[in-house]
Structure formats: C-alpha cells, structure tokens
C-alpha cells in the first residue's frame, strides 16, 4: 500500500480497501458467470485490523452461493509486513453481485456451483442463510418504518443524543 492511500491517522484509508474488495468481487463474479456483473449489495464489512502503509495486501475471493442471476462473493483481505513477515487478517465481507445481459442490461442466468468439498458445501449453505436473513431484515425494516411516529419532541427522545429544533409550521 502506497503513501497516497494514507488517511489522517497514518493508516491506509478504509475506502481504498473497500474499492479493492469491490474490484476483486467483480473479477470473481465475472469469471464465474462469464458476464458483466454489478454490485447489488455489500454485507457488513468488518475492519479487523488496520492496514499500514508499505504492507502488501492479498485479497481472496470465492463464489459462495449462486441464485438465478446473483451470486454471493466472499472476500477475505490479509496484510503482510514484508519486513517482519507478520501476516494479519484485516477485512472480511460478502458482496452480492448480479450478472447482466450486455445488450439489455437485465439480469442474466448464471451457472450453478459444483460443490466438491465440505468447505464449499458449508460456504453455499451459509450463503443461502445470509440471503434469507437479508430478505427477512428488509421485510422487518419496512414493517418497522410503518410503525414509526414521526411526531416527536424532546421528551420522546429523552436519553438520545439529539435535540428537536425544527420550525413550527
């Protein structure tokens, strides 16, 4: 990682790492699907350890789960200090990528996975579970939004770190 990637804290900026993760997710998805792919969503990105300027990053990717046109790409980022030989796991995330037809820009069918090891079966089943959880979370959030009472005052937000100061209409 080069000095131009440094943030104000002297570490590699998280956005640089995220950009690399997105690029490797694209390469993995396009390689599997043989199609142009776009990022549909990114699950929680865990920043486990900072990346130091001068370290070498290695990004690992795998197609964990395939739907009809979408796939979950697991990303693991590892940094290596080439002076000391220290290796650290810095990031993990899951990207949902969608294959698109080049002419119509609509979702394109993709090949399924051939699961050849216990590890691949585990990744597939966990990917399927994450997909189900994402759908449930979207549904729960939509339902919860409908129940929000937006007529609030300072008393109803007691204990929160905010103050209501909107103008009276």
Residue 167 has pLDDT above 80, yes or no: no
How many domains does the chain divide into? 1
What average pLDDT does range 42-55 have in this prediction?
92
Domain presence at residue 95: yes
Position 125 scores a pLDDT of 98
| Domain CATH for 97 | 3.10.129.10
* pLDDT tens, residue by residue, 61-120: 999 999 999 999 999 999 999 999 999 999 999 999 999 998 999 999 999 999 999 999
What average pLDDT does range 47-52 have in this prediction?
93
Domain presence at residue 125: no
Position 151 scores a pLDDT of 84
Domain presence at residue 118: no
Domain presence at residue 135: no
Residue 169 has pLDDT above 70, yes or no: no
Residues near 76 by beta carbon (within 8 Å), at least 6 away in sequence: 59, 60, 61, 89, 91, 92
Domain presence at residue 77: yes
What average pLDDT does range 143-147 have in this prediction?
91
Domain presence at residue 25: yes
Structure tokens at 23: 């690029």
Domain presence at residue 147: no
Residue among 45, 60, 47 at smallest CA distance from 11: 47
Domain presence at residue 122: no
Residue 133 has pLDDT above 90, yes or no: yes
pTM (2 d.p.): 0.85
Range of the domain at 50: 3-113
């Amino acid at each position: 990682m080069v000095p131009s990637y440094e943030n104000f804290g002297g570490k590699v900026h998280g956005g640089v790492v995220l950009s690399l993760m997105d690029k490797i997710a694209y390469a993995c998805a396009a390689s599997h699907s043989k199609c142009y792919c776009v990022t549909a969503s990114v699950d929680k990105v865990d920043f486990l350890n900072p990346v130091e300027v001068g370290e070498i990053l290695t990004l690992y990717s795998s197609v964990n789960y395939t739907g009809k046109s979408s796939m979950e790409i697991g990303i693991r980022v590892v940094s290596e200090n080439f002076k000391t030989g220290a290796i650290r796991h810095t990031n993990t995330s899951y990207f949902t990528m969608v294959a698109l037809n080049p002419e119509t820009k609509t979702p394109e069918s993709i090949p399924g996975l051939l699961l050849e090891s216990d590890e691949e079966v585990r990744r597939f089943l966990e990917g399927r579970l994450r997909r189900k959880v994402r759908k449930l979370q979207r549904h729960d959030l939509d339902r919860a939004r409908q129940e929000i009472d937006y007529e609030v005052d300072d008393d109803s937000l007691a204990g929160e770190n905010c103050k209501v100061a909107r103008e009276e209409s």
